[in-house]
Structure 1
């Protein structure tokens, strides 16, 4: 009976270890998002969800929101867009935590929980979330599952694991490819077949964004290397920030207080311990004295993931330490443009550290013959909480930087007017700038919502101005050919614009903010279709 009782208890512990990462990811996600889970939309930088998004296929510049915007628009016919956004955001944390836990060798609860919490609560995820890059984070959340599938082999298994990245688009797929290909190339058997299968799956799932990217007339400015290069966001320089999983180019994406010496030091030490533990995995023996290497049977992804982490760190460092190399590559072929934002390729290193930390936490909480239950539970709880303690201000929407707001009724009315109009013609959004900071959104900077709201082509200024601190600012030319041509007309003179815009096939002019008088005087003959406090819609 005692043997049966022991076996039953072991099975319950095994089940807990298998399923506990899901609720852990849910709790961590709720703690991180905080007010963002309230009524309304979360609008920050690239994260622009709109009510009743139209089903459209973007044209013009580089297809950055393909196919993510289309998937959101289709799903918004099933549930409200604001509920869909919250489901996606909380799902990122759950999927990420469960995936990291599934890669930890063994079936003990503490190591799996520690890895889950680490992968769902770190500077990389926090900074990318504050930059609004939810589509990239879909790929980040699915990365452990893609690594697991690549190590096991099988095209259908890998295709299913890559669905989140495929929805996320080009950044998510590139990050996934960085990890999947080395893992497939270094797995124990059928390596060539695994690489060919991985290439076929990655290529097929990339077609939705790759084809329009190749057909577009989008231009990539090599000067963007200076704007998007990784930067120091702590006291240990750029490399120290990258190893600590930070280093994003936008200072507004920093978690409050993350640069403080005590926290930055703790994160760097934690990163070192996690990496060393992961590197030593093939030579680590379990309690029975058997080697856990697949070499290793326990971690068939070990070599490939380590290679991916090293390559990703090298890419991230190139923009900061050898920018001329990237500029030359982009000048030779614009397709190298995605390498400008090198810090996003640190994602495999995040997974390496999560697994390494999980294994280390398991060792710290391993039961001993002399210790009681407390000797296991207390160290285990502390280990699981460590990732939260070294980045505490990520809690509650990064100390309030994330929040949910409602769109003003004016936006919904303008959207309805334009989308009900059967007449063809594009819409141009003014003032001529890529981003907006509305008072109703708490002054948070967001990409112009007009780009997502209308069932017709939207002409907008996709040029980007990046502040360089004491070095002033850097202006990157827009990628959309038509937008660049119309922008030159708007900014080069102060005369009438009506005939020029009509000739370019534009039917509507949307003016937001307090700029209506300045632009309306340049649009003689335009008919007001809607006049509000902050929104003016003119029909040409």
Structure 2
């Protein structure tokens, strides 16, 4: 039972957190866009700019060749809770080194708190499932990097633990480096472990690292305006700093769960977080887990990065760094870096439960004497373990309906099939010229990245600029990275409100390599008046597909470079080797404790 309990906790948590999102249909929410029959070759070819969807979209496309795309989405969402809860629970249980009832309750509390908190809720409502998959893998990475073993065994264990980060892509790898890097560095032999860990990170990064270097050579850049747009914001009465400590503070107000800012709930969550940090410090002093000091450093560093966006000087400093080198661009989204603190608080809450259940340990050591005290301790521990769910009920059952699946209209599937049947090359231009917008048929009202940008089996051209509202009522426009999209925008000159151009010129679009125009919104018939050079292929209430009659210029799709293929094969091969070398699970080793004169045994 002890072996399977962490996975059971994750499975139950996934069921109650996702609810209807696990049913048939597609959940569309901000960046979370799954489509039927996602094209793997198109994903691999990519587009201009940083390959943010690699390799997550490639994995989804590969799996979609075997099972329907909506089931792939359900599996991906469930994996966040299953892998995350099991990882935190096993990290706690292995560190306690006990199979007694109290230790199991403590491990369950850690697993539950790690995946049921404002950070997970807000990022899920932003649709950042791939990043959350990497977040779910952090406990496994911490356990693997804290282990002391021979280089080959150590590397195999780390590579195996980095599978979620490898699928999640750039943000996931970055969070893993921040969280597990200090753990690898800490203690005797830290430089050797850190070197092996860095090598493993480099290997799993190849699928996005190689094309990103090519994109950099093509002139892709990071807009410093994103610092203001993505800065943390207060979503509780405690202000921005307090919201970050409570693992909230996301930049998008529409991603804040229901009742998240209620004063009563905020006060209780603050008490819970303070107790979790106190529990962590107590456990750190008492047990000295091998990863304890490193994770503490990672949590402090991550919180410091998050605080950069809180003040004007901090934002100016971050913008200056991005101006100096675009590689500092990930620092824009500061709230992302409270992830190590989320793991620390989850384990700290497990330590609180461990402390509450110590009477049960004494009872077992005394042969069962003092059973009443043991029962009270276990009951109190179980009550504390349930508090994260009770205090963050905005995540219940698909975020209270915000994550409801829908089916794509028939006209969308017809347009997808028509483009796939056209053997002539050329890109698909997606209109309206607004990346994120509301879609009438997408169920719960909200904003989503236009699914037409991923629907077709060829290159799509769409507006990748991001418009973000500011607290003072203004807007910040973060310029996109696709150079070809900027060229098309100059030709279209679209209305900034509707995203539709006054007219379409088939010859101009053909000169830019456009073969089809997909209008994924209701169209006013006056829009077509005086438009020449197109034929209507599909016309529906929510999708109109036009074909450019003139042959596109330079419309050949770019080939996948041999270097990119080699990078992907190296990553896949390394992961297969690591699994074959050290077992099929993500990680099963115990991290142990660094016991010294000040360390104490479990039962005083």
TM-score, scaled to structure 2: 0.82
DSSP 3-state at the match of 1:513: coil
Deviations 1:497-523 (A, max 9, x none): 222111001000001212354653474
SS state of the match for residue 518, structure 2?
A: strand
Q: Is 1:352 matched with 2:344?
A: yes
CA distance in 1, matches of 2:531, 2:463: 18
Report deviation, 1:380.
Answer: 2.7
CA 1:376/1:130 → structure 2, altered by over 3 Å: closer, same or farther? same
C-alpha spacing 1:329/1:522, structure 2 compared with 1 (3 Å): farther
Structure-to-structure mapping, 1:435-450, within 5 angstroms: 435-442=436-443, 443-450=445-452
C-alpha distance in 1, partners of 2:274/2:213?
A: 41
1:185 aligned onto 2:185: yes
> 2:271, 2:306 → 1: CA distance?
20
CA deviation after TM superposition for structure 1 residue 405, in Å: 0.8
Instruction: Pick one of 329, 341, 355 that aligns with 2:333.
Output: 341
Q: Distance in 2 between matches of 1:176 and 1:517?
A: 51
The alignment's TM-score, normalised by the length of structure 1, stands at: 0.92
| Structure 1 residues 364 and 50: CA distance shift in structure 2, 3 A | same
Q: CA deviation at 1:271?
A: 1.2
Equivalent pair of 2:452/2:520 in contact (CA under 8 Å) = no
CA distance in 1, matches of 2:524, 2:147: 59
In the TM superposition, residue 37 of structure 1 has moved relative to its aligned partner by 1.7
Residue 60 of structure 1 corresponds to: 48
1:406, 1:538 → 2: CA distance?
23
In the TM superposition, what are the counterparts of 1:179-328 in structure 2 within 5 Å?
179-186=179-186, 188-216=187-215, 217-284=219-286, 292-293=287-288, 299-321=289-311, 322-328=314-320
- More deviation in 22-31 or 124-133? 22-31
Shift of 1:213: 1.7
Contact 1:96 1:144 in 2 (8 A): yes
Assess if the C-alpha contact under 8 Å between 1:496 and 1:522 holds in 2: no
Paired residue for 1:7? Answer: none
Q: Secondary structure at 2:441's aligned position in 1?
A: helix
Question: Is residue 498–residue 522 contact of structure 1 (8 Å, CA) maintained in 2?
Answer: no
Secondary structure in 2 matching 1:528: strand
For the pair 1:507 / 2:515, whether they are aligned, the reply is yes
Gapped runs of 5+ residues in structure 2?
149-153, 364-368, 495-500, 549-604
| Displacement of 1:357 | 0.4
In structure 1, how many angstroms separate the alpha carbons of the residues matched to 2:78 and 2:194? 33
- Decide which moves more: 354-363 or 19-28: 19-28
1:160 aligns with 2:148: no
SS in 2 for 1:514: coil
CA contact (8 A) 2:505 2:533 kept: no
Shift of 1:490: 1.4
Q: Could you list the runs of 5+ residues in structure 1 that have no partner in the other structure?
A: 1-15, 285-291, 294-298
- Please list the CA deviations of residues 345-391 of structure 1 after superposition, one character each: whole Å capped at 9, or x if unmatched: 11111000011100101211332553425323421321221111111
Measured in 1, the distance between the counterparts of 2:531 and 2:134 equals 44
- How far off is 1:193 after superposition? 0.8
Does residue 1:38 correspond to 2:23, yes or no?
yes
Of 271-280 and 386-395, deviating more is 271-280
Counterpart pick for 1:122 among 117, 138, 149: 117
2-structure distance, mates of 1:522, 1:44: 36
CA separation in 1, counterparts of 2:531 and 2:425?
A: 20
DSSP 3-state at the match of 1:405: coil
491-500 or 249-258, larger mean C-alpha shift: 491-500
Question: Could you say which residue in structure 2 is the equivalent of 1:150?
Answer: 145
How far the C-alpha of 1:495 sits from its partner, in A, is 5.0
Which aligned runs of 4 or more in structure 1 are off by greater than 6 angstroms? none
Residue aligned with 1:534, SS: coil
Q: Which stretch has the larger CA shift, 246-255 or 216-225?
A: 216-225
Residue-by-residue CA offset, 1:161-214 (whole Å, 9 max, x unaligned): 00111111111110011112111100x332111111111111121121122222
After superposition, residues 17-28 of structure 1 pair within 5 angstroms as 17-28=2-13
Greater mean alpha carbon deviation, residues 234-243 or residues 432-441: 432-441
Tell me the CA shift for residue 470 of structure 1.
Answer: 3.0
State how far apart, in whole Å, the 1-side matches of 2:328 and 2:3 are.
40
| CA offset digits 1:29-79 (Å, max 9, x no partner) | 111111212221111010000111111221112211001101100011111
1:17 deviation in Å? 3.3
Deviates more, 1:45-54 or 1:489-498: 489-498
Contact 2:25–2:406 (CA under 8 A) maintained in structure 1 = yes
Deviates more, 1:267-276 or 1:452-461: 267-276
Query: SS of the residue aligned with 2:137?
Result: helix
Alpha-carbon separation, structure 2, partners of 1:515 and 1:237: 44
Q: Give the length in aligned residue pairs.
A: 512
In structure 2, how many angstroms separate the alpha carbons of the residues matched to 1:135 and 1:496? 36
Q: Cα deviations across residues 455-492 of structure 1 (Å, max 9, x unaligned)?
A: 11100000011111333211121211111121122127
471 and 522 in structure 1: CA distance in 2 versus 1, 3 angstrom threshold: farther
Tell me: CA distance 1:534–1:272, structure 2 relative to 1, closer, same or farther (3 Å).
same
